[in-house]
Amino acid sequence: MSENIVHTVCTDGIEMEYARFGTGSRPLVVIPGLAIKSVMKSAASLQVPYKMFMEDYTLYFFDRRKNVSLDYSLSQIAIDQVKVLDALGLKDVALYGVSQGGMVAQQIAAAHPDLVWKLVLGCSTSKAEPEQLEVIGNWAQLARAHDKDALVEAFIRDCFSVKFAERYSRALRMMYHDVSEADMDRFAVFARECDSVNTAGDLANIKCPTLVLAAGEDRVVTTRASIKVFEKLKAAGGCGHAVFDESSEFRNRILEFLNQT
């Protein structure tokens, strides 16, 4: 990874890594979803798919904080993220939450409307669907058992479309060849917290323009979950779950939404 891209912020007892690139005046904050190992280990590769954003936005991709306890909660992730954004002086941000990152982004936008200019939720949910409980629960069980091979196979199978997984099978498996027991223990903590997401009652507090994107073949949080988020937000005012990795059209829609006046 490039030292010019990955940085560390320390504030209020929180140590968190983030990747920063782009030259635009508006900050675009990305909160990734569950990852078996830190996205910072492949931070440099993020510049290619997000190149289209780099002229108008400065992108910040955040990892979760280091040294999490076994009882670390989803709401605490959101609290820590806000503290880090404040420490970096980031305000009036475009906030893009992916999967579990979307669960966190919902809490931030609802509790801190002055902080978020526009919100994008990608393949996320406001309350766990039965399929999510089963799929992510299986990941957590495999992680706690330190069954790396089975965890990687399940993660790839569940996150990506069959066509994509078959085409990039070798590269995807190589990505996780060095997963450690510590990585799996950390992953299990975050995976468990997906079960407790319940932001449905808070969605009416989100006042900023919001784009909800779903994938037709999402086997993790399901398309139905994203539709429910959309319907609640509206009332108040063909890819797999990892469509953000598979399809450039997903990113095109985000850029179009952010650039709308």
Q: How confident is the model at residue 215 (pLDDT cuts 50, 70, 90)?
A: low
71-126 per-position pLDDT tens digit:
999 999 999 999 999 999 999 999 999 989 999 999 999 999 999 999 999 888 88
Residue 156, domain member (yes or no): no
Residue 153, domain member (yes or no): no
CA–CA gap between residue 204 and residue 107 (Å, rounded)? 11
Q: How confident is the model at residue 248 (pLDDT cuts 50, 70, 90)?
A: low
Please name which of 101, 94, 91 lies closest in space to residue 122, comparing C-alpha atoms: 101
Give the domain extent around 37.
6-127+198-259
CA–CA gap between residue 134 and residue 114 (Å, rounded)? 36
| Mean of pLDDT values over 34-54 | 90
| CATH value at residue 109 | 3.40.50.1820
Angle separating helix axes 100-111 and 74-87, nearest 10 degrees:
60
The confidence score (pLDDT) of residue 132 equals 83
The confidence score (pLDDT) of residue 214 equals 67
Residue 42, domain member (yes or no): yes
* Average pLDDT for the chain: 86
Residue 182, domain member (yes or no): no
For residue 242, pLDDT beyond 90: no
Angle separating helix axes 181-193 and 148-159, nearest 10 degrees:
40
The confidence score (pLDDT) of residue 127 equals 82
The confidence score (pLDDT) of residue 128 equals 76
- Cβ atoms of 97 and 71 within 8 Å: the answer is no
Residue 144, domain member (yes or no): no
Number of domains in the chain: 1
51-67 per-position pLDDT tens digit:
999 999 999 999 999 99
What Å distances lie between residue 163 and 157, 169, 219, 239, 261, CA to CA? 11, 10, 14, 9, 37
CA–CA gap between residue 100 and residue 77 (Å, rounded)? 10
- Cβ atoms of 90 and 81 within 8 Å: the answer is no
Residue 58, domain member (yes or no): yes
Residue 99, domain member (yes or no): yes
Q: Dihedral of the CA atoms 213, 218, 220, 224 (nearest 10)?
A: 60
157-206 per-position pLDDT tens digit:
988 888 888 888 888 899 899 999 999 999 999 999 888 888 888 888 98
Please name which of 52, 58, 99, 28 lies closest in space to residue 252, comparing C-alpha atoms: 52
For residue 233, pLDDT beyond 60: no
Residue 186, domain member (yes or no): no
